Amino acid sequence: MVSLDLDFVRKQFPVFSDKESGRWAHLENAGGSYVPEHVISLVNNFFTKSKVQPYWDFGPSVKAGEAMDRAFDLLPATFNAASEEVHFGPSTSQNTYVLAQALRPTWEADDEIIVTNQDHEANIGAWRRLEMTGIKIREWEVNPTTGLLEVDDLEGLINERTKLLAVTHASNLAATINPIRNLADRIHEVGGIIVTDGVSFAPHAAIDVKQLDCDVYLYSTYKTYGPHVGLMYTSPRVLEQVENQGHFFNANNPTNRLTPAGPDHAAIAACAGIIDYYEDVFDHHFGSPDASSVRERILQVFELFGEHEQKIMAPLVEYISSRSDFRLIGSPSTSHSVRAPTVAFHSYSRSSKDIYLSLIEAGVSCGHGNFYARRLVEAVGLDAEDGVVRLSLVHYNTAEEVAKALDALEGMAP
């Protein structure tokens, strides 16, 4: 059986050879991942050779357009979607904001939206704002002990006026994978749509919007080894319904309808480097890619990532769960199909800030606080500023880096 060649993987990321940055055990990946050489060289190329308005007929402009078109062609495979179904916006927060403006005219006063208190604010605030336009907001609350959403609690919130459910695929703190397909089926029964925030899921596993039957799915490429671009899939049904938010003369261009801002050309071009990286990982582990599609290769690469992530996450989740003075937020499962390798916890006897500072002292990069999931932190009974400590892993992390964090935690007696 093929397993992830970590030496190969880490060689693709220049940061690991940097004297200053490379000495950190980087366990703050949920805030933004490192980037491979593939992405860096595309940024460099764009700024060096084609930093001009794209799509004219002079050399550098042709190159700029081609570089962007590569990304427009390649990235939809990460959703299992078609090019005309994916919008390249500046961030997930801005994509939800624009989407909310675009959907509002399709609803009437007293129509209802369900938001959770588990999500990052990016998939709550834009929907809650619609309350001032007459939309009724209902909140699906987490279990205050575990931080988990329980499907039974949703039932009482759904009715024939429900137009939209906004819910995270995996929270950036609880990290537990929500049953999006079941939720989509339920919301579709009353004619509503589901908007899924996949920002904390996308670095760890392949997304399949068709299998999930999502109406909208969002993620940000700075968490998936690229620059900061917000990608948003919309189903053809949603795209037809929404009011154009772009310039009036772009109304019939599907990928401009929900992107009012002029795009960051270089960042979009550099997104293709994410796929180039996945392709190189595939080639290295499985040989020549001639027999399969980009999508199939992405699936195999994420299988490798997932197996490795599960291996390095398990000791961390087990250790945190075993400490009587710690509380893990989310599921204590060590299975990659149940939770992402993002581990948020707090102590009953010391502040999260104290733990965080000790981890940093030990050379572990991490953070503490609410990570913009402020409602979740408050719902589980914590101070919004001190919040939780978060250690978040991705496939390029090593067992030694996790051991460094475990040693530091062990040094903090209960």
Ligand X SMILES: Cc1ncc(COP(=O)(O)O)c(C=O)c1O
Which positions lie near ligand X, rule CB under 6 A? Answer: 91-93, 120, 122, 168, 172, 197, 199-200, 220, 230
For 304, residues 6+ apart whose C-beta sits below 8 A from its C-beta are 2, 3, 4, 281, 285, 395
- 91 vs 358, which CB is nearer to ligand X? 91
Rounded Cα distance, 26 and 360, in Å: 10
- Which DSSP state fits 349? S
Q: How far is the CB of 368 from ligand X (least distance, A)?
A: 15
Please spell the DSSP secondary structure of 264-304, one letter per residue: -HHHHHHHHHHHHHHHHHHHHHH---TTS-HHHHHHHHHHH
CB of 230 to ligand X, least distance (A): 5
Tell the smallest beta-carbon distance from residue 389 to ligand X (Å). 16
**Nearer to ligand X by C-beta: 98 or 122?**
122
Query: Which are the contacts of 339, defined by CB distance < 8 A and separation ≥ 6?
Result: 170, 175, 176, 177, 313, 317, 330, 331, 333
In the complex, minimum distance from the CB of residue 57 to ligand X, in angstroms, rounded to a whole number: 34
Q: How far is the CB of 251 from ligand X (least distance, A)?
A: 25
Q: How far is the CB of 156 from ligand X (least distance, A)?
A: 26
Nearer to ligand X, 168 or 365 (CB): 168
Instruction: Specify whether the CB–CB gap between 84 and 73 falls below 8 A.
Output: no
> Which CB atom, from 122 or from 177, has the smaller least distance to ligand X?
122
Quickly list DSSP for 116-164.
Answer: ESSS-GGGTHHHHGGGGGTPEEEEEPPPTTT----HHHHHTT--TTEEE
Between 122 and 304, name the residue whose CB sits nearer to ligand X: 122
CB of 211 to ligand X, least distance (A): 20
Q: Which is nearer to ligand X, 122 or 214 (CB)?
A: 122
Between 74 and 122, name the residue whose CB sits nearer to ligand X. Answer: 122
Burial class of 225 by CB neighbour count within 10 A (0 to 12, 13 to 18, 19+)? buried
Euclidean distance between CA atoms 101 and 242, whole angstroms: 9
Whether the CA torsion 25, 31, 35, 41 is positive or negative: it is negative
